[in-house]
């Protein structure tokens, strides 16, 4: 609303959001099915009728333990968090819509966040000294998609932050592919990690 960009980027973002939510739903179901701890962790206040809770909850709406942020037990909690974040940032954007500094900063944070999507995988590979269990085909699709997107930004003279963050995203993808090569041909001694207290399996 503050600075319009091309419609294909908007539709790509909408499709990506729904795709990520579907993946999040699947990951939540798999993780919860493998957890030994059956205590429900939630974003919103727990329902007093919940069978897992014997005493009425004495909690507020934003009832989450920061140690378990984004590790909730139900998909609906993630949806509530996303809707809350969207509502708050949407209202702030409405109030500051006339500020070019705010609009440019918001746009940069958006594309920069997207550019950092591969960094958690990059860091986990580094910690484990291995890429075992990671889909190389997925990373190749990331790299090709990000490359095409970045070229599109440059050729169509998109705002500067699009091109910079697109290049950063490609570099992260290439770094992950380099890890695949290094850890496959030059295996290193894995680093031991402490197990998560509430989970028997890391996703």
- Each residue's pLDDT tens digit, 1-57: 777 777 888 888 899 899 999 999 998 888 888 776 556 666 765 544 444 444 444
- Tokens describing residue 48: 């007093």
Are the beta carbons of 115 and 165 closer than 8 angstroms?
yes
Please choose, from the candidates 34, 73, 36, the residue with its C-alpha nearest in 3D space to the C-alpha of residue 203: 34
pLDDT in tens, 47-88: 444 444 444 444 444 455 677 788 788 899 899 999 999 999
Q: Retrieve residue 199's tokens.
A: 């989970």
- Using left for φ > 0, alpha for ψ between -120 and 50, and beta otherwise, residue 79 falls in alpha
- Looking at the whole model, is its pTM more than 0.75? no
- % helix, strand, coil for the chain, step of 5: 60, 0, 40
Catalogue all structural domains in the chain, each as residue range(s) with its CATH number: 1-39+73-98 (no CATH), 99-186 (1.20.1280.290)
pLDDT by residue (tens digit) across 134-170? 888 988 998 999 999 899 889 988 888 888 999 999 9
Residue with tokens 């944070």: 109
150 with 164: CB under 8 angstroms?
A: no
CA distances from 71 to 76, 78, 136, 140 (A): 12, 9, 25, 28
What residue has token string 């705002």?
159
Angle at 20 between CA 150 and CA 108, to 5 degrees: 40
Residue for token digits 């995203």? 169
Rounded CA separation 178/183 (Å) = 8
Torsion of CA 11, 15, 21, 27, to 10 degrees: -140
Q: Which residues contact 63 (CB under 8 A, 6 or more apart)?
A: 42, 43, 44, 45, 46, 57
**Position of tokens 């790509």?**
12
């Amino acid at each position: 609303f503050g600075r319009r960009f091309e419609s294909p980027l908007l539709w790509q973002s909408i499709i990506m959001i729904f795709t990520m939510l579907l993946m999040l739903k699947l990951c939540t179901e798999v993780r919860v099915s493998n957890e030994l701890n059956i205590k429900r962790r939630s974003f919103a206040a727990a329902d007093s009728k919940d069978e897992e809770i014997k005493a009425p909850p004495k909690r507020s709406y934003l009832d989450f333990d920061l140690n378990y942020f984004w590790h909730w037990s139900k998909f609906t909690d993630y949806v509530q968090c996303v809707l809350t974040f969207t509502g708050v940032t949407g209202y702030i954007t409405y109030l500051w819509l006339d500020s070019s500094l705010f609009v440019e900063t918001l746009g940069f944070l958006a594309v920069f966040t997207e550019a950092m999507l591969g960094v958690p995988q990059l860091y986990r590979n580094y910690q484990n000294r291995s890429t075992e269990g990671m889909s190389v085909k997925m990373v190749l699709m990331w790299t090709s998609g990000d490359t095409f997107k970045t070229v599109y930004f440059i050729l169509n003279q998109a705002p500067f932050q699009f091109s910079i963050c697109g290049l950063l995203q490609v570099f992260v993808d290439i770094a992950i592919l380099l890890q695949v090569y290094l850890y496959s041909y030059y295996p290193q001694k894995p680093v031991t990690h402490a197990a998560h207290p509430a989970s028997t399996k890391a996703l």
